[in-house]
């Protein structure tokens, strides 16, 4: 539940292109939790993390 909330918040912040540092933090947390749980949403969270990292470096 926490991982999905973090992932959802990170995606919303990315979509708004607002507070990308917070989005990055939330996304990393989601990936960390999903990795530990071996959750099927891990790939989606990793893709969001990559998008946020690209947006920050643009």
Taking the domains of the chain in order of start, what are their residue ranges?
2-57
pTM: 0.93
Question: Confidence class of residue 54 from pLDDT cuts 50, 70 and 90?
Answer: very high
Question: Confidence class of residue 58 from pLDDT cuts 50, 70 and 90?
Answer: confident
The 10s digit of each residue's pLDDT in 3-43 is 999 999 999 999 999 899 999 999 999 999 999 999 999 99
Distance CA 1, CA 46 (A): 17
Nearest to 44 by CA among 56, 21, 27: 27
Helix (H), strand (E) counts: the chain: 3, 0
């Amino acid at each position: 539940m926490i991982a999905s909330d973090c992932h959802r918040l990170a995606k919303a912040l990315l979509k708004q292109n607002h507070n990308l540092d917070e989005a990055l933090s939330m996304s990393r947390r989601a990936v960390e939790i999903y990795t530990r749980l071996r959750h099927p949403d891990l790939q989606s969270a990793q893709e969001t993390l990559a998008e946020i990292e690209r947006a920050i470096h643009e």
